[in-house]
Amino acid sequence: MKGFWFKSILILLNFILVCINQTHGQKVLLSANGPGNTYEEINKKFAPGKDVIEVPDCVHSEFGRHINEIYDEELEKHVFNFFVHVVPDNDRCLNFDRQRTEIKTYGGSPENLKAVLGETVIYSWKFKLPQNFKVSKNFTHLHQIKSVGSIHSTSPMITLTARKSTPDRMELRYTSTTMQSTLKTTLLDLFRGEWVKVTEVIKYDNFGSYYIKISRISDGMVLLKYNISAIDTWQDGSKFSRPKWGIYRSIKDVSDLRDEQVRFDDFIIQELTPLSVLDYKSMSTNNKLKVNKSKMFVSIKNIPKNSYEEIELISENGKKIAHNRLLQKNKIRLSGLPEGDYFISFLEAKQPVSIYTFTIEN
């Protein structure tokens, strides 16, 4: 590339950390605020004027509501407490081989809470299992992504479920039809008695993507992480897809179970919009990478490897450039790149953590 000369020096002041919770306006949709009116608060956020609560109150009315709000000493705030009792709770007075205490979005929810084909949505929440949490060998679901309108809608597309085994485990399960497979497992003991935060990002498409990370809140330890960029995340014929949270378990083997209380809080549902060129320019102000004139590469030093998961190279007109063959250790070779401005975006959960710019000139 003789004849090229380069401008841009390493400034690296004002290192911009663009975390998901801040730059993209991510706001908590539903958070506990104290005892009383719990069902009403949930419905107000998830489907105003409707009912998104699926509980066994109808067969256990003397207990009262199966979701309430209590103060949590560790988080130092009120949280939602989901109850399920081995007897007499069932599944909404409909099924007697299983039990359900769940909340969801559904057809009556606002449009921004229902995922449609082509959208990318981030879901985030916190939960805590009891120290002696007991699980079924069949299923104990804590989270599901389900489609509406598909012939496969009875089968959740994504499921986070706990299962009795040797040892007990937490499973991430998936299907685009009806035949579920297990994508990842980890020890259930890692979750027992601990608050965890879940971040899940789904691009809903026949050629979509899926990301999940579950971290322990006390020390940040990652308990489960999975990322795949080519996966069918749209069940054919669906009108939309939507999430569920709570306790949904089989009671075929009641001797394995006990009455449980699982805590949840800080639910987020946010549709993501791809960044524009203007977004990249505003986010990369004063973040210019050093360009080596003689060896023709961009150095990406001083960026910790554990601070991002992948890199995107974007041209000044917003076009993504295949860079796998250009990326070598902590450098991007410039061979073959035409003159112009370029942006290097460091991604976590498919969203920019930091963005830098460099320029190539004749």
Q: What is the pLDDT of residues 33-92, one digit of tens each?
A: 999 999 999 999 999 999 999 999 999 999 999 999 999 999 999 999 999 999 999 999
Please, which pLDDT band fits residue 315 given cuts at 50, 70 and 90?
confident
What pLDDT is stored for residue 323 in this prediction?
Answer: 63
Q: Which segment of 130-139, 216-225, 308-317 scores lowest on mean pLDDT? A: 308-317
What's the whole-number average pLDDT of the chain? 85
Please, which pLDDT band fits residue 301 given cuts at 50, 70 and 90?
low
- What's the mean pLDDT in 163-181? 95
Phi/psi at 224 (5° precision) = -155, 135
Q: What is the pLDDT of residues 124-154, one digit of tens each?
A: 999 999 999 999 999 999 999 999 999 999 9
Please, which pLDDT band fits residue 296 given cuts at 50, 70 and 90?
confident
What pLDDT is stored for residue 334 in this prediction?
Answer: 73
Q: What is the pLDDT of residues 89-112, one digit of tens each?
A: 999 999 999 999 999 999 999 999
Percent helix, percent strand, percent coil in the chain, to nearest 5: 10, 45, 45
What pLDDT is stored for residue 321 in this prediction?
Answer: 79
HSE at residue 24, side-chain half, CA atoms within 13 A, is 23
Dihedral over alpha carbons 94, 98, 99, 103 (to 10 degrees)? -80
Contacts 24+ apart (CB under 8 A), 89-97: 89/56, 89/59, 89/60, 90/56, 90/59, 90/251, 91/56, 91/248, 92/54, 92/55, 92/56, 92/58, 93/56, 93/58, 93/59, 97/250, 97/251, 97/252
Q: Is the dihedral of CA 97, 233, 266, 305 positive or negative?
A: positive
Specify the 3-state DSSP secondary structure of 36: coil
**C-alpha to C-alpha distance for 263 and 129, rounded to whole angstroms:** 7
List C-alpha distances in Å: 165 to 19, 85, 309, 334: 37, 22, 32, 52
Is-contact 353 199, C-beta < 8 A? no
What pLDDT is stored for residue 213 in this prediction?
Answer: 92
**C-alpha to C-alpha distance for 76 and 95, rounded to whole angstroms:** 37
Please, which pLDDT band fits residue 251 given cuts at 50, 70 and 90?
very high
CA angle, 189 then 194 then 199, to 5°:
100
Which tokens in the block code for residue 265?
Answer: 């809080």
pLDDT surpassing 80 at residue 327: no
**C-alpha to C-alpha distance for 292 and 298, rounded to whole angstroms:** 6
Residues 6+ apart with CB under 8 A from 19: 353
**C-alpha to C-alpha distance for 20 and 23, rounded to whole angstroms:** 6
| Burial state string for 25-34 with b = 16 or more CB within 10 A and e = fewer than 16 | ebeebbbbee
H-state helical runs in the chain:
20-23, 38-46, 277-283
The pairing of beta strand 140-148 with beta strand 310-315: unpaired
Closest CA to 341 of 301, 275, 281, 274: 281
Please, which pLDDT band fits residue 304 given cuts at 50, 70 and 90?
low
Is-contact 243 143, C-beta < 8 A? yes
List C-alpha distances in Å: 102 to 42, 66, 238: 11, 9, 22
Closest CA to 359 of 307, 281, 302, 295: 281
Is-contact 68 39, C-beta < 8 A? no
Which pTM does this prediction carry? 0.78
**C-alpha to C-alpha distance for 85 and 72, rounded to whole angstroms:** 21
What pLDDT is stored for residue 302 in this prediction?
Answer: 63
Q: What is the pLDDT of residues 185-206, one digit of tens each?
A: 999 999 999 999 999 999 999 9
